[in-house]
């Protein structure tokens, strides 16, 4: 049989639990072990006999045999046929410093008998060395050089160190030559995705955006390390004080004024009716002929006076003439309670509008950004640019991309710090992940976030397709997520904005109906109560007559 194809089929059929019993002559056994021992190297890490296979070797020679040396397989037991007794010569591979050595198996005293025969199983990957690729970002992976030695740190590196401690492996870092995350080029991908697709590296440890197109050339480790959002950071260069010809109307929303005027008209009408009731009752008692016409004329006469009194009460607390009837007194009392609330709120908001320095935002949403005189930009590298570019031209994202592409393409290739310098210097809105903008905006009071999500992405580590590391890595990543360790690592690297030293900017907000709705409820309740009092008085009057 072809040994390579057979080994490949065995691995595909049995992985990750590959158990082999081999009973061969010494020469054939040596050839088999050497072949399998180097098989993972030939497949460029796409198989893992070294860690996930357990071997029981039965030697048929009656004389002492020399066991194979320099074996990289981690779980191997050799049973030698010696003087017609097998179990007197049982050896196992045990990790010693930088290599495995054959040691005799003594009487097993451990609870797990497998650890007696396969002791290396207790040490995970037994310090296997992996090649890890990454790219520098301000939060996830930061690179520094000290005495000619390049060092990496950050959120992604801490996660990698945690996984390496759990699985017991070491690693060496590298970067793609083109310094690209992985963008589509001629039917394939460049950068980190190409490294994974060609199995040039074992793992990518960075904030790699999960994308369906990339999944055809690599695999992601789930769950993701983070979900991030792209927002807009900008600076207000033209700070203006709130000015308006209608400044006196700013304290209230239009709906408040509308309801207030309707209530004033209703109160004036009811007050005229209530104040004319006693006249109608007296005329009825006197036996006047045309009572209804006379009563209506009386209401019209009182209506003008009631309108004047109610209108005047909007500007001062009180009437020049107090109501004579009990229903009118109840109605006016509830109206005055509403005016006390309205006057207090209006006065406070008007004083604030006249005295406070209020900045006017150049835009409050993405539509406003598109209509403003601000130019828009983002970093040229990364999948987020590709996602925005592929948006429908008629959508908001597509229109934002049209505005971005109108910039100087040479400047878009500059570094992250250059973009922020441009934000501080001119009318320039920059699209970037919130985690990065929060870090760079930590102590800058002049920079602001729009607070509206342009795009959202999930970030994860990557592996070559069909990598045997996937199962082990996803198991550990799930444990880190469920236990809250990922959140603890994130808190270590997250920088929250410290704006306690910044001057507070007061934004004038008009009062809504919901905020002072209680006052209108009082008036409605007072109106209802006054009508009930009027009805009671009418009943009493009829009874007396």
Helices marked H in 276-325: 277-286, 291-313
Is the per-residue pLDDT at 513 higher than 70? no
Residue 252: its pLDDT value, please? Answer: 75
With 0-12 / 13-18 / 19 or more C-beta atoms within 10 angstroms meaning exposed / middle / buried, residue 242 is middle
pLDDT in tens, 242-288: 555 556 666 777 888 788 888 888 888 888 887 777 644 555 544 55
Instruction: Transcribe 459-492 into DSSP letters.
Output: EEEEE-TT-TTHHHHHHHHHHHHHHTHHHHHHHH
Asked which of 359-363, 392-396, 437-441, 470-474 is least confident by mean pLDDT, the reply is 359-363
> From residue 425, how far is each of 407, 420, 441, 446 by CA, in Å?
16, 9, 15, 11
Asked which of 305-314, 336-345, 489-498, 502-511 is least confident by mean pLDDT, the reply is 502-511
Model confidence, pTM: 0.68
Is the per-residue pLDDT at 163 higher than 80? yes
- Name which of 233, 238, 237 is nearest 448 in CA terms: 233
Torsion sign across C-alpha atoms 243, 249, 252, 254: negative
Task: Quote the tokens at residue 408.
Answer: 């100087």
Task: Quote the tokens at residue 525.
Answer: 């309740």
The band of 337, judged by pLDDT with boundaries at 50, 70 and 90, is confident
What is the Cα–Cα distance from 310 to 269, expressed in whole angstroms? 10
Average pLDDT, the chain: 81
Q: What are phi and psi of 3, to 5 degrees?
A: -65, -40
- Name which of 136, 111, 137, 138 is nearest 122 in CA terms: 111
**Residue corresponding to tokens 């196992």:** 92
> From residue 494, how far is each of 95, 210, 435, 449 by CA, in Å?
40, 22, 7, 17
- Name which of 339, 344, 350 is nearest 519 in CA terms: 339
The band of 146, judged by pLDDT with boundaries at 50, 70 and 90, is confident
């Amino acid at each position: 049989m072809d040994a390579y194809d057979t080994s490949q089929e065995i691995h595909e059929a049995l992985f990750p639990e590959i158990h082999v019993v081999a009973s061969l002559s010494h020469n054939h056994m040596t050839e088999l072990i050497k072949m399998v021992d180097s098989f993972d190297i030939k497949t460029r890490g796409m198989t893992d006999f070294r860690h996930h296979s357990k071997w029981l070797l039965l030697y048929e020679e009656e004389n002492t045999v020399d066991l194979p040396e320099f074996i990289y397989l981690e779980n191997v037991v050799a049973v030698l046929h010696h003087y017609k007794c097998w179990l007197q010569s049982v050896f196992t591979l045990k990790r010693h410093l930088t290599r495995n050595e054959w040691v005799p198996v003594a009487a097993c005293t451990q609870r797990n008998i497998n650890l007696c025969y396969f002791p290396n199983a207790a040490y995970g990957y037994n310090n296997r060395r992996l090649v890890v690729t990454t790219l520098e970002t301000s939060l996830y992976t930061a690179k520094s050089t000290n005495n000619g030695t390049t060092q990496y740190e950050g959120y992604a590196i801490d996660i990698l160190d945690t996984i390496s401690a759990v699985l017991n492996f070491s690693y060496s870092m590298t970067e793609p030559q083109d310094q690209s995350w992985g963008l589509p080029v001629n039917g394939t991908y460049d950068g980190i995705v190409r490294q994974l697709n060609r199995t040039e590296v074992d793992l990518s440890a960075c904030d790699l955006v999960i994308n369906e197109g990339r999944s055809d050339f690599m695999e992601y480790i789930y769950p993701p390390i983070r979900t991030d959002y792209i927002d807009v950071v900008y600076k207000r260069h033209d700070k203006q004080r709130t000015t308006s010809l209608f400044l006196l109307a700013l304290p209230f929303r239009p709906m408040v004024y509308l309801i207030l005027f309707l209530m004033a008209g209703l109160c004036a009408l009811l007050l005229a009716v209530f104040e004319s009731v006693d006249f109608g009752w007296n005329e009825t008692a006197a036996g006047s002929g045309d009572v209804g016409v006379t009563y209506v004329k009386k209401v019209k006469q009182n209506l003008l006076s009631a309108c004047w009194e109610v209108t005047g009460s909007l500007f001062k607390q009180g009437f020049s003439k107090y109501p004579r009837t009990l229903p009118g007194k109840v109605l006016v009392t509830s109206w005055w309670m509403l005016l006390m609330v309205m006057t207090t709120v209006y006065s406070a908001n008007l004083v604030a509008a006249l005295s406070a320095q209020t900045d006017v935002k150049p835009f409050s949403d993405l539509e406003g950004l598109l209509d403003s005189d601000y130019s828009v930009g983002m970093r040229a590298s990364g999948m987020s640019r590709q996602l925005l570019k592929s948006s429908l031209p008629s959508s908001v994202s597509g229109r934002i991309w049209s505005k971005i592409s109108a910039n100087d393409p040479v400047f878009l290739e500059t570094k992250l710090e250059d973009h922020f310098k441009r934000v501080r210097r001119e009318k320039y809105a920059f699209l970037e992940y919130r985690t990065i903008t929060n870090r760079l905006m930590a102590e800058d009071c002049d920079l602001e976030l729009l607070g509206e999500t342009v795009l959202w992405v999930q970030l994860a580590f990557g592996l070559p397709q069909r990598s045997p590391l996937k199962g082990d890595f996803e198991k550990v990543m799930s444990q880190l997520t469920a236990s809250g360790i990922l959140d603890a690592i994130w808190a270590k690297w997250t920088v929250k904005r410290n704006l306690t030293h910044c001057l507070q900017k007061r934004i004038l907000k008009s009062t809504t109906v919901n905020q002072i709705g209680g006052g209108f409820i009082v008036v409605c309740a007072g109106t209802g109560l006054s009508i009930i009092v009027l009805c009671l008085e009418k009943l009493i009057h009829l009874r007396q007559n």
